[in-house]
Amino acid sequence: MSDMFKAIADKVQQTQPSIVFPEGTDERILEATVRLKSEGVLNPIVVGNEDEIKSKAADLQLDVSALEIYDPETYGDFEELVKAFVERRKGKATEEDARKILQTPNYFGTMLVHVGKAAGLVSGAAHSTGDTVRPALQIIKTKEGVKKTSGVFVMVKDNERYIFGDCAINISPNSTDLAETAIEAAKTAKVFDIDPKVAMLSFSTKGSAVSPETEKVVEATQIATEKAPELVLDGEFQFDAAFVPSVAAKKAPDSPLKGEANVFIFPSLEAGNIGYKIAQRLGNFEAIGPILQGLNKPVNDLSRGCNAEDVYKLALITAMQGLEG
């Protein structure tokens, strides 16, 4: 495990928060949660039928006796969750609706976070992003002043760390969306001890091309600067002008970034998704995430192609987000 994750684990271990895992019969989830519990890093809560979870664990030769297992069908405080869900949905769900909806593991797990039974949630090993994000948006909701959640990746190789976003959620963000993503990404960077220097990316640098696409990024830069004037943030930039000091000196000599950006905001989901996968596959960077940002409490989405190590690391990140508030 890298020094970065060792540092996160050490900090999380001081409080050992509870993190809920709605996919309790998935072998990757079981392997990671048993490890997290045995190492005393945090307290995993796995959701599902207890007999099925124990049977799966036995097949995998895993000891789950120390894990907290919550089954929606037998959970003692289920009616408390029902009432809290109805109140949170403000007339959009009856108690009968709530009892049915909360049998769904992701909704059940998200409600545990909402009522304070857990500090955060990790799902997505066996569910789509929509199945993970939808309950979070309906129950946890976005922070005041944030209209949309966004998804970023932490790109790690040796001692290099960068934030790429939005690479997971918003297909065609407008200027306000990009500005929100940038501000929240800077906060995410700090969780990883990255001093954020934010570049708003485009195919143009400081007016070298003018189009609706570049103007969107220029406007986003203005909005973000007005909302968070303390940030080192600039745009619009081509990637090389944001990342290579010698190129920055030629293309944007007056920019505060000076070719040292470490948080990169892509102008669209397709650009972000392509960009992080190029860095991952050609650059041999580890892509950690997507990490959802802008929510009142941390909920994070695994890739369905994840392994147990990915689950372990995203759980640490989720716990760390909870500590950072």
Q: What is the DSSP string of 151-217?
A: EEEEEEETTEEEEEESSSS-SS--HHHHHHHHHHHHHHHHHTT---EEEEE-S-STTSS-SHHHHHH
The CATH number of residue 95's host domain is 3.40.50.10950
Looking at the fold, whether 10 and 137 belong to one and the same domain comes out as: yes
Confidence of residue 43 (pLDDT cuts 50, 70, 90): very high
Does some domain include residue 289? no
Instruction: For residue 72, give the H/E element and its range.
Output: none
Looking at the fold, whether 85 and 125 belong to one and the same domain comes out as: yes
Looking at the fold, whether 117 and 240 belong to one and the same domain comes out as: no
pLDDT tens for 60-72 read 999 999 999 999 9
pLDDT tens for 279-318 read 999 999 988 888 999 999 999 988 888 899 989 999 999 9
pLDDT of residue 201: 97
Instruction: For residue 297, give the H/E element and its range.
Output: none
Does some domain include residue 230? yes
pLDDT tens for 62-105 read 999 999 999 999 999 999 999 999 999 988 889 999 999 999 99
Opening angle at CA 122, ends 120 and 127, nearest 5: 140
Does some domain include residue 201? yes
Q: Would strands 232-237 and 18-21 be described as parallel, antiparallel, or unpaired?
A: unpaired
CB of 199 closer than 8 Å to CB of 242:
yes
Judge whether residue 1 has pLDDT over 70. Answer: no
268: nearest Cα among 220, 210, 306: 220
Looking at the fold, whether 253 and 313 belong to one and the same domain comes out as: no
Looking at the fold, whether 43 and 90 belong to one and the same domain comes out as: yes
pLDDT of residue 234: 96
Does some domain include residue 299? yes
Judge whether residue 15 has pLDDT over 80. Answer: yes
pLDDT of residue 120: 96
What's the predicted TM-score (pTM) here?
Answer: 0.87
- Give residue for tokens 């009432």: 83
Looking at the fold, whether 177 and 103 belong to one and the same domain comes out as: no
User: How many domains, in total, are found in the chain?
Assistant: 2
Q: What is the DSSP string of 251-277?
A: H-TT-SSTT---EEE-SSHHHHHHHHH
pLDDT of residue 259: 95
pLDDT tens for 135-184 read 999 999 999 888 999 999 999 998 899 999 999 899 999 999 999 999 99
